[in-house]
Copies of this chain bind each other. A is one copy, B any other.
Amino acid sequence: MTSPPPVVALLTDFGLQDHYVASMKGAILRGCPQARLVDITHLVPPQDVPRAAWVVAACAADLPERCVVLAVVDPGVGTGRRGLAVEADGRWYVAPDNGLLSHVLSRARTWRAVSLTNPAYWRQGHGATFEGRDRFAPVAAHLAGGGRLEDVGEVVRDLTFLPVPPLHEADGLLTGHVACVDHFGNLITTIPSDRVQGGRYHWGSCAGRQLPIVRTYAERAAGDVCLLPGSSGFLDVAVVNGSAHGLLDARIGTAVRLGR
């Protein structure tokens, strides 16, 4: 029995019409020819670190163990902000130190991080605008090939975290927010699905609409809006066979409430 081939999963804001993703993949395959590459997305809006942080955390637990996640959304490229390599709950992450790994790290049981200070892993002489290819990809290849975290830089602990609006619970009301609007128009909230277990809350609301709390789409008719446990562990505001984003006046940050 041989060990499974290494997997490198990629998330960027590079878009899909330029050569940038292929250049970064080339750098990975040059360093680790056995790597299997999986795209998470390359359509993060340019420099939208909060969105990137949310998407990485949403799929991390679904990726294979020992997977290397290479995530590059990097308004600070070329400015000397730190690059990071992190081990968290048995997966590796390579990313700029700008909050992109906030949600992964805040949900992890254990993590350790190094700053990418070892120039032996930098590709030199190609300008300072493409660290995804020239600094992060070689490190991802090193880790995918079984290399040690400590090889690529010095241990750091004071990572950058994004501010996260906390859940608020008082007087029988639980208030969270819309964290993400997905391709289907579902509004994914910051409220963990287990908060509605045991019937503790009986109704929800968002953008002035009362929302029933259900377990599956089957409990409602097409066009109905409802709150239900989504696929990444949080409640979704959803419309059966439709778009909640199209129906409700809600966006990222809009309050979502549960009541008794």
Binding site for B on A (CB under 8 A): 4-5, 7, 9, 14-27, 29-30, 33-34, 36-44, 46-47, 55-56, 58-59, 62-65, 67, 75, 77-80, 126-130, 133-134, 180, 182-184, 193, 215-218, 228-233, 236, 238, 241, 243
Contacts and interface: CB of A to CB of B under 8 A. Distances in A.
A25 B37 contact: no
B41 A18 contact: yes
A71 to B, nearest CB: 12
A184 B21 CA distance: 13
Nearest to A7: B29
A178 to B, nearest CB: 14
B58 A218 contact: no
Given A39-B22, A62-B133, A64-B33, A17 B229 contact: no
Contact of A127 (B56, B77, B193): B193
A55 B18 contact: yes
B182 A18 contact: yes
A231 B126 contact: yes
A22 B44 CA distance: 14
Nearest to A6: B33
A14 B29 CA distance: 25
A216 B128 contact: yes
Nearest to A59: B19
Contact of A22 (B41, B65, B79): B41
Given A23-B62, A128-B216, A182-B18, A37 B38 contact: yes
B80 A218 contact: yes
Nearest 8 A-B pairs (CB), nearest first? A15-B183, A4-B33, A130-B231, A19-B59, A23-B62, A78-B216, A26-B62, A79-B218
